[in-house]
Structure 1
Amino acid sequence: FGKTVPDISLNAVANLGYADCRFLKPVFAGDTISTTSEVIGLKQNSNGKTGVVYVRSTGVNQHGETVLDYVRWVMVRKRNLDAPAPDTVIPDLPSHVPVDAIGLPDGLDFSGYDTGLAGSPHLWDDYAIGEKIDHVDGITIEAADHMMATRLYQNTARVHFNLHAERDGWLKERIVYGGHVISLARALSFNGLGNACFIAAINGGQHTAPCIAGDTVYAWSEVLDKAEIKGRRDAGALRLRLVATKNHPCGDFPDKGADGKRLGDVVLDLDYWAVMPRRN
């Protein structure tokens, strides 16, 4: 993601969402990752001052092997407000990554998985479709923490760092990088999904509201689906919906109001496949 920022979202207003994200090969310390992006969609917003750009980005390692392929869309400012709007092109994106497209790393074997050492007794077999899990804990975002994390992600977008400029913006503060919010929500989810060992694919997701320093992030999950992985008896896939909020504990599973509109304190809605050990 960070490697796409200089070309796509250095001057963005906000990163909005993701789709069709496939983690195809594991990455290890010492690997070198490079990224290319293709613009696959454009849509000018009704205010005529901004628009949405859809891009497909592909990351490869030093051997030329694809490790990640995904689509995201970002809101950017229009350079010339008097220029005519481009033709609207909205890409046709899949609703989810097929489970048979999920690949497990070579050599991964959960047959001897020790739930005692893992700290959680719950495995793939124990979860039911439709089950909701309140992850209970909260994490307060500190300015130094989110800026340091954003640097480590090599995201250089100015809205995350320049308080002098952002004081004149709509939030009067630096916007927390959405990837940091995803990381916090994913970390919180281990309270209830302690053996969801890794994310195999992201089906879709949206940053539905911004966070700033001082906000406290909470999260809850819903099991949307579960599937066996072809040829594997030691592991299964859970399709999970991860919802994160700011300053709103999730015991009531906050989502949408009576009017059908998303609540303002919901900041993330992420749909992903997680791989989890099975009972042998």
Structure 2
Amino acid sequence: MIIITTPTGAIGSQVLHQLLTDPSATSEAIRVIVRDPDSLAPSIRDRVEVVTGSHGDRAVVERAFAGADAVFWLVPPDPHAATLEEAYSGFSRAAVEAFTTHGISHVVGVSALGRGTPQATRAGLVTASLAMDDLISRSGVAYRALACASFMDNLMRQLPSIRDHGSVTDTLDPDRRWPAVATRDIATTAAGLLLDRDWTGSSAIPVVGPEDLSPTEMAAIMSEVLGRPVRYQQRTLEAYAGSLAGFGLGSAFVEGMVDMMRAKDSGLDAGPHRDSTAPGATAFRTWCEIVLKPAVDA
């Protein structure tokens, strides 16, 4: 049995969809942990077991993990946590103990690039995520941390600005090339590991797109695909922090986001992390064609 956390989230929902539509997965029982079962489509609820609640809750994971052997693990962002350690490792601690109690053999988790780089020691959310990986690894479970680049899909948060003003903003240097990844590729990697559990030990698997692009190059590709000009505007980390705080996000989360973006602009995601011949990795232009353009046109 496979357990899916965040089954209605941007990545978890795609992992669940791939498992439910993969012909090789027909013999796999699937159980999901979800706060609101009504958020699942009826066609999905009829095909999975549902455990209601938060996967950060000890009683919930004790119920959910009984009889299971594999878990897709993703910690949802908590912008109001007192510390980032609490948001990641604290949230995961009950589940990690339950991995051992219930004999979970394999866990696939969503994490981040950066391990082993000087920037990783003060990279905010990334540092906290890597510490969570260490916590899971120490449990002895076979673990694969999906070391993800920044998500292309995060650009959808700027959809009104892209559509109405032809503008996209970030804190990165306009000419710094960096990796990005489509969430669909993260889901594909996770689903494959959950179905083919012929692996042992603990390690990280980089999940990145097939190219490194600068914000300026990404804006140019968006312009070509959308058929309208899109320009990149760099904002300061101070302005970024002020914007996050203006949305009412907690100080630990705001500081963590700023530290992460500072580390990324200093080369956190750089490194020999890509096999350029790997099939299935979505190029940024392809993502713009299949995700961004339909949303803008709609």
Q: TM-score range by the shorter chain?
A: under 0.3
Normalised to the residue count of structure 1, the TM-score between the two structures is 0.25
Normalised to the residue count of structure 2, the TM-score between the two structures is 0.24
Q: Which has the higher strand share?
A: 1
Q: Which has the higher helix share?
A: 2
